[in-house]
Amino acid sequence: MKAYVDLLISEGHCYQSGVRNIRGAADYSAWLARKRCQVADVNETSILKYEGFRQKHCHPSLAEHTALIGLVKVLRAFNATAAATIVLDPLSQIIKDFDQYFTQNHGLCETSVIRHRIPLRKFLWQCCPNGVSNLSSLRRQDVRRFLVQHAHVQSSISAKNMCWTLRAFSRYLLYKGHTSYNLSSAVPSIRRLSITSLPEHLSSDQIKKSAGRLRQAQHRWLKGLRQTLHEYVALRRGLQFYPTS
């Protein structure tokens, strides 16, 4: 476990992210113990089975898959489990092709590419469970439905990154010919407001109350301006100004 913690630190995880990854590894270990599996049984295949179990019984974390893959890498570094047999599931193959497209066509670094995997995998799990065969049936309402379900449970920055990923993936599908629809038009832009308590709409009573306060403020401003002008005229004439009630 110490080697796994060192891996998380080297990848730049914050405290909260590290705790989530360690908790995910602990849940995976408990599942292996219930299945009477050994350390040698830890591989990508068992991770996929565990993720299927998680989907049926609870809501999986977005970063859980990446955390478990990191655990497998640590175990392989100590020769505690067998070397990888590269057999990708349909969703992982789509993500791998998308990563190559990003790297080769747009020149993104590995850190930027990894950042898009988590929301993309979540989208594929929900909307394309059978892989490439489902891509041609994607429509704009599928993208909007996914965003409505998941955008509100994240921060504005995370929601904005998720929209960026889906917009880029939609253009990738059009570029590769997997669909004839421009799904990127269904992805909205996320506003970043410094005042999060600012309401998006007002009721009629709130509008009347705000308009009354605005009229009062305008009246006070005009009254002050009128008195300032009187003082200025008096000074120009060389007279002493006596304010009137």
| Segment 42-69, tens digit of pLDDT | 887 888 888 888 777 776 666 677 778 8
Least confident among 17-26, 54-63, 112-121, 224-233: 54-63
Cβ neighbours of 64 (radius 10 Å) = 22
Distance CA 131, CA 152 (A): 26
Same domain, residue pair 133 and 171: yes
Distance CA 177, CA 175 (A): 6
Q: What is the mean pLDDT of the chain?
A: 78
Same domain, residue pair 94 and 171: yes
Give the structural domain span for 179.
Answer: 90-186
Q: Per the domain annotation, does 96 fall within a domain? A: yes
Residue-level pLDDT at 211:
85
Same domain, residue pair 170 and 220: no
- The DSSP secondary structure of 154-203, one letter per residue, reads S-HHHHHHHHHHHHHHHHHHHHHTS-SS-GGGGPPPPP--S-TT--S---
pTM: 0.44
* pLDDT classification of 119: cutoffs 50, 70, 90: confident
With 60 as the cut, is the pLDDT of residue 240 above it? Answer: no
Residue-level pLDDT at 86:
57
CA atoms lying within 13 Å on the CB side of residue 202: 9
* pLDDT tens-place string over residues 154-177: 677 777 888 888 888 888 888 888
Distance of CA 26 to the CA centre of its chain: 24
Of the three residues 13, 47, 77, the one that is the final residue of a domain is 77
Residue-level pLDDT at 13:
72
Q: Per the domain annotation, does 197 fall within a domain? A: no
Residue-level pLDDT at 144:
86
Residue-level pLDDT at 192:
61
Which domain CATH number covers 165? 1.10.150
Identify which has the larger pLDDT, 54 or 194: 54
Q: How far is CA 238 from CA 227, 230, 231, 232, 234, in A?
A: 17, 12, 11, 10, 6
DSSP 153: G
Query: What three-state secondary structure class fits 104?
Result: helix
Look at the chain and report how many structural domains it folds into: 3
Max distance between CA atoms of the chain, in angstroms, equals 100
Same domain, residue pair 157 and 232: no
Q: Per the domain annotation, does 12 fall within a domain? A: yes
Distance CA 232, CA 225 (A): 11
Q: How far is CA 174 from CA 127, 154, 177, 226, 231, in A?
A: 17, 28, 5, 64, 70
Same domain, residue pair 146 and 180: yes
